[in-house]
């Protein structure tokens, strides 16, 4: 048996029940596919009054403490992966960031306490945006939070609240840097660029193309999440990143090389945000120590994979 098969057999044997919030999102879909392949019995939660419930799917508005208690009590999961969040920085109601990202997370943790259930691990997705405008090409977990928008501020506030639970629940906070892949909506930059090259559009409108981001492949991110669930780590915060930043200008060049297509770049002032972080690149050193078996995927490979879809 290889390591993956052994892990899968173990999960199947002990019927590992894993609850994933935000299951219908981009990350959720990829993570659930991985977890099922590893033998987890996954319960997905989805928002929305009209969402259909099945034995493996529950309706959950995480801003409702009652609904959180009901789902935790019914499922009694071994693992919780909390992905549900408002994650689009340009979302139009600032208060939603705090209702969902801070209070929703609190409701989930409080529900565990209220129904007397302690999971083996709770993995909570924060964001590298909490670091703000840091002038460093290798931000590690010791850097202070300095958020510059409501999304980042809500995640920083959520982290502070979650740390007060470290002595009560085995929690791991992950701070993913930017990541992308097939299935991400074109409101995000890399899928927008991929879409323009794939349909051989004559031009593209973008904001500042010299901002640099540490872009990961979603397949690497969810492998890291799954490995962290199985690790001994708890009461910790860990970056999920590659350590290799790329500017949008470099990504445009790369996509042009892969497709043989050139497009004109129009800078639209409406897309240039004053609060844009100029360079955001993380240090993956702690992640590599925790789960050395998880290897990053080169960004050119990710771009080729997306363009081939």
Select from 81, 230, 241, 222 the least CA-distant residue to 176.
241
* DSSP letter assigned to residue 275: T
Which domains does the chain possess? 3-180+217-243+283-289 (3.40.50.720)
Least confident range from 44-48, 66-70, 300-304: namely 44-48
User: Which tokens go with 221?
Assistant: 């991110």
3-state secondary structure of 267: strand
Residue holding tokens 């909490």? Answer: 130
Calculate the CA dihedral of residues 271, 276, 277, 279 and round it to 10 degrees.
Answer: 30
151 is catalytic: yes
Q: Spot the catalytic one: 79, 131, 151, 179.
A: 151
Integer Cα distance of 224 and 251 in angstroms: 24
133-172 pLDDT tens trace: 887 779 999 999 999 899 999 999 999 999 999 999 999 9
Mean pLDDT across the chain, nearest whole number?
92
Give the helix, strand, coil percentages of the chain, each rounded to 5. Answer: 40, 20, 40
pTM of the model: 0.91
């Amino acid at each position: 048996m290889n390591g993956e098969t052994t892990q899968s057999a173990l999960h199947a044997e002990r019927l590992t029940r894993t609850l994933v919030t935000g299951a219908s999102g981009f990350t959720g879909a990829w993570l659930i596919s991985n977890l099922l392949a590893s033998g987890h019995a996954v319960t997905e939660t989805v928002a929305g009054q009209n969402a259909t419930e099945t034995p493996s799917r529950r309706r959950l508005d995480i801003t409702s403490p009652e609904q959180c208690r009901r789902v935790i009590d019914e499922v009694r999961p071994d693992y919780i992966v909390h992905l549900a969040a408002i994650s689009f920085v340009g979302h139009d109601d600032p208060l939603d960031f705090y209702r969902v990202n801070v209070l929703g997370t609190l409701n989930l943790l409080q529900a565990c306490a209220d129904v007397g259930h302690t999971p083996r691990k709770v993995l909570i997705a924060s964001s590298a945006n909490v670091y703000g405008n840091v002038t460093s090409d290798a931000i590690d977990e010791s850097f202070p939070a300095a958020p510059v928008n409501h999304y980042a501020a809500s995640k920083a506030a959520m982290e502070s609240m979650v740390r007060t639970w470290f002595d009560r629940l085995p929690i791991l906070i992950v701070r993913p840097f930017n990541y992308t892949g097939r299935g991400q909506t074109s409101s995000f930059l890399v899928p927008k660029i991929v879409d323009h090259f794939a349909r051989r559009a004559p031009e593209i409108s973008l904001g500042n193309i010299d901002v640099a981001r540490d872009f990961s492949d979603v397949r690497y991110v969810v492998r890291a999440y799954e490995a962290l669930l199985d690790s001994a780590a708890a009461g910790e915060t860990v970056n999920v990143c590659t350590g290799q930043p790329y500017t949008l200008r470099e990504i445009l060049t790369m996509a042009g090389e892969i497709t043989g297509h050139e497009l004109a770049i129009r800078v639209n002032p409406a897309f240039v945000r004053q609060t844009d972080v100029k360079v955001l690149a993380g240090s993956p050193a702690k992640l590599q120590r925790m789960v050395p078996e998880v290897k990053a995927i080169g960004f050119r490979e990710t771009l080729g994979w997306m363009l081939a879809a």
